[in-house]
Structures are given as C-alpha cells and as structure tokens.
Amino acid sequence: MAISMLSGAESLKLVNGRAPVGLGFVGSNFQFSCLPKKGLLSFSKNQKARILAPRCSTSARPASQPRFIQHKQEAFWFYRFLSIVYDHIINPGHWTEDMRDEALEPADLYDRNMTVVDVGGGTGFTTLGIVKHVDAKNVTILDQSPHQLAKAKQKEPLKECKIIEGDAEDLPFPTDYADRYISAGSIEYWPDPQRGIKEAYRVLKIGGKACVIGPVHPTFWLSRFFADMWMLFPKEEEYIEWFQEAGFKDVKLKRIGPKWYRGVRRHGLIMGCSVTGVKPLTGDSPLKLGPKAEDVKKPVNPFMFLLRLILGSIAGAYFVLVPIYMWIKDQIVPKGQPI
C-alpha cells in the first residue's frame, strides 16, 4: 500500500500502483468533485482508493458532455483573435510569472545545455520561464497557431529558440530526443489527452521528465457548468491516470494558483496544476492507441463551426471575469478565511 499526503505545498505523489479507476477518468459515470486540502489518500493493491480524512463528495459528469472550444480547428480560430490580447488579459488573471516559475520548478531545469521542447508554447510566456534555466538555442517552441507563435518570435529572449508549427498529438521530433518536455495551457484543447501524453513519453530520452501544466475541474456549480461547455478541465486523477498509462514513473502533481486565489479548486483556473513524470525506459510508450479522435483535414459544417465557436467564446468569457471577481473578493474577505 502507498499512502500520499496532500498538504501545504499542495503536491500529490503516487509512489506505487496506478491511480484508482472510476474516479473521474474519461468514460466513467461519477467523479470526485474535490480532493482533500489536507488528508490522506490510500491506494491498495486492488487499485481502490480510500479517503482517510476528509471525505469528498461525488458528482456526475457524462463522458459525452459537449464542449464548444476544445478541438484544434476551433482553437486555431479562437486564438487567431485572442493572440492579440492574450499576454495582457488572460495571463494576469490565470497564469502569472510567479505561478509559471512555481509550476516549472518540478520540471527540474538544472542544466543550461538540456534539450527542451515547449509544446503548445503559444506566445512564449512559459518559454520565458524555461530560458531562465536553459539556453534558448536548446529550446523548441511548438504550437498549431501561427498567430500565437508570431508573438513569441517578437520576444528578445526567445530569438535563438527554434519555433515551429505542429500538433501536440503528433510531434515532429524523433524518439528519445529531448531531456525535458514542457506543455502549459495546451492540454485543454487536445481531443485525446492520452495521445498527447503518450507522445511526450516517446520524444523524451530515458530518464527525461515531462511537465504538463493545465486546468483543473472546478467544484463550484456555475464554474463547472461553463468549464464543461468550454474546454477540457481534467480532474487531478485524470492527469495521473494519463501519465501512468503512457508509462511514466514517479508521477507527481502540484497545485498552483495566484497568490490572491485562496480556492484553487472552487472556480477552476486555466492553469491549476503541474504534473510531472519520468521516462523509465528508452523507446516509444508501451501504450497502444487507435486512430486520432479528430481529423483536422476533414471538412466541417461552416454553420455548426461558427455556432460552436461563438458558444465556446461566450463560455470562455466567464473565465476572464472569474479572476476579477476573485481579486475583489480577496480584498473584502478577511485573510485566513476561504473564498
């Protein structure tokens, strides 16, 4: 039996065994709506999880839940316009420099000569944190959005980085290529997150480490509603499952949030946790998958595409307002009280 503590640093480590099945993974009927702020998770050999203290409630989330901005084509056009203001509107509320540095710490970027790939690197905001520790000439930024990458190219510290367009689920890197795989704020757009993390395993060298930074599913009902309409906000258990299924060992999860955000899980952040895993063996992932979930070359119905884009953008606007609301609440509610 392996026992893991969740406390102050908000980190979770599974030492042995796999994450429990049926606690919120894709296709299950019921999911944990929270993990304990402080408490113990116990994992036994038969893979059943027991909450020692405190207990969490469960909530239904159908696997068929529609999301209006998740697929690559929709994300492409969404960022065609959002790229103009991304660094000035989204990052200050959901992805600050302090959060970035904290989230990258588990990636263990200790050598300036490391080969690093930043998958879904967008405007290069996360890459700016990477090049504090690794020479820019050894870093590759990959994204499907030329509009986001155009912003990255304008940043002086990233001038020596390799910048390429590409697909997170089909990376243009050879097997056993990189020392570190970083992906921040990208997984929520992957039609098949398991495939993307499988690719992370493949491109890493033996002993290399993957670090995926992304949102967590909210526990407040209204935030949960908009999150499920908008994009993929995974459960913490889902992240761990995807990493372990891909073959990663020493999987760890660290919760992150802005200093003023006292309820990281309650409303959900576009950046909510940092998950790392180590590649134990050379070669491709042992996990075998079928065809991709989404064919970006397949023609789409223009009307339905536009409708989904509009609905998804409306849902996304909610998460622009959330940090403003939380900042105001932080100013009003006495320190030490949850918000």
**What pLDDT does 205 receive?**
98
- The domain spans of the chain are 2-60, 72-278
Q: 118-141, pLDDT tens digit by residue? A: 999 988 999 999 999 999 999 999
SS (H, E, C) the chain: CEEEEECCCCEEECCCCCCCCCCCCCCCCEEECCCCCCEEEEECCCCCEEEEECCCCEEECCCCCCCCCCCHHHHHHHHHHHCCCHHHHHHHHHCCHHHHHHHHHHHCCCCCCCCEEEECCCCCHHHHHHCCCCCHHHEEEEECCHHHHHHHHCCHHHCCCEEEECECCECCCCCCCEEEEEEECCHHHCCCHHHHHHHHHHHEEEEEEEEEEECCCCCCHHHHHHHHHHCCCCCHHHHHHHHHHHCCEEEEEEECCCCCCCCHHHHCCCCCEEEEEECCCCCCCCCCCCCCCCCCCCCCCHHHHHHHHHHHHHHHHHHHHHHHHHHHHHHHCCCCCCC
For domain 72-278, give the fold.
Answer: Rossmann fold (3.40.50)
**What pLDDT does 88 receive?**
56
Interval 273-286 mean pLDDT: 97
What share of the chain has pLDDT > 70, as a percent? 70
Give the pLDDT band (50/70/90) at residue 57.
Answer: very low
Give the pLDDT band (50/70/90) at residue 54.
Answer: very low
pTM of the model: 0.77
According to the per-residue pLDDT averaged within each range, which of 3-7, 126-130, 326-330 is highest? Answer: 126-130
**What pLDDT does 335 receive?**
86
Interval 236-245 mean pLDDT: 96
More confident residue, 336 or 12: 336
**What pLDDT does 296 receive?**
57
What share of the chain has pLDDT > 90, as a percent? 44
